[in-house]
Amino acid sequence: MKWRLLLRLFFIQALWNYRTLLGSGLAWTLLPALREFRGAERDELNSAIGRHAEHFNAHPYLAGFAVGALAGMERDDVDEEVIRRFREVVRGPLGSLGDRLIWSAWLPTCVLLAGGVVLLGASPLVGVAVFLVVYNTLHLALRWWGISAGLALGKGVGEALGRARLPLWSERVGRAGVLLLGMVAGLVLATGVSPPEPVRHTGPAGLFVVAGILLFIVGVRRDQLAWRWTPALALAGVAGVYLWGILGAG
């Protein structure tokens, strides 16, 4: 059961539409569980498919929590109205938590990590491999964890999400991403200017320009990143790598 739900979860967005968003995909993903727990009577099965095909939205990587929990609730023969209320309650948090953790923090951090590896001398293929391995490690872990926790806890899956403290991890990954941004910017400046003399003359000006850009980015996104720490991390990354490049050129 768990493996079938997990495999279908990868295609939950295939039936995305403007009317139900992920609703149709959610019903299709749950179909193995619905057939097993509600398939004795065709009318009961059709009714279950219909209620799960209603409007629903979540981040695709965190949708496994809803899929697992709903499958567990169908297994435990939970009242239909309770299932509907659960769907309404979880769709907002699963969307916002996933957007902050994945799209705003993890994805750009992985891109910057791969870019930094290439700038340090690795081949582009190695950079691509680093990105795919690092990014998909969290991606696959979230899907598996969501299905497992949902099936085990049912409507109590929110407690598992709360204990995981995903907003805190979003903040930490965001800090790491800004540090990597500073390091990548420093690598570009340190390796992209030649001969050494212009580097020494334009170094302070270039450093201030990059620092200003990074502070602007952090200021705009301070609702998603740690305002007190990210400017320091960005400046440290730029200054450290940039000065390393200047000293190395000399």
Mean local confidence (pLDDT), 180-186: 76
What does the pLDDT read at residue 25?
A: 95
Of 18-22, 112-116, 210-214, which gets the smallest average pLDDT?
A: 210-214
Residue 194 pLDDT level (bands cut at 50, 70, 90): very low
Mean local confidence (pLDDT), 165-190: 81
Mean local confidence (pLDDT), 155-174: 87
Mean local confidence (pLDDT), 41-59: 89
Q: What is the pLDDT of residues 59-118, one digit of tens each?
A: 999 999 999 999 999 999 888 899 999 999 998 899 999 999 999 899 999 998 998 888
What does the pLDDT read at residue 243?
A: 61
Residues 219/167, Cβ–Cβ less than 8 Å:
no
Mean local confidence (pLDDT), 1-12: 93
What does the pLDDT read at residue 192?
A: 58
What does the pLDDT read at residue 24?
A: 94
Which range of 76-85, 194-203, 235-244 scores highest in mean pLDDT? It is 76-85
Asked if residue 12 has pLDDT above 80, the reply is yes
Q: What is the pLDDT of residues 229-239, one digit of tens each?
A: 555 555 565 56
Residues 65/22, Cβ–Cβ less than 8 Å:
no
CA distance 212 to 192: 19
CA distance 215 to 222: 10
What does the pLDDT read at residue 91?
A: 86
What does the pLDDT read at residue 160?
A: 85
Of 52-66, 89-103, 141-155, 174-188, which gets the smallest average pLDDT?
A: 174-188
Of 20-24, 144-148, 174-178, 180-184, which gets the smallest average pLDDT?
A: 180-184
Of 43-47, 137-141, 212-216, which gets the smallest average pLDDT?
A: 212-216
What does the pLDDT read at residue 132?
A: 94
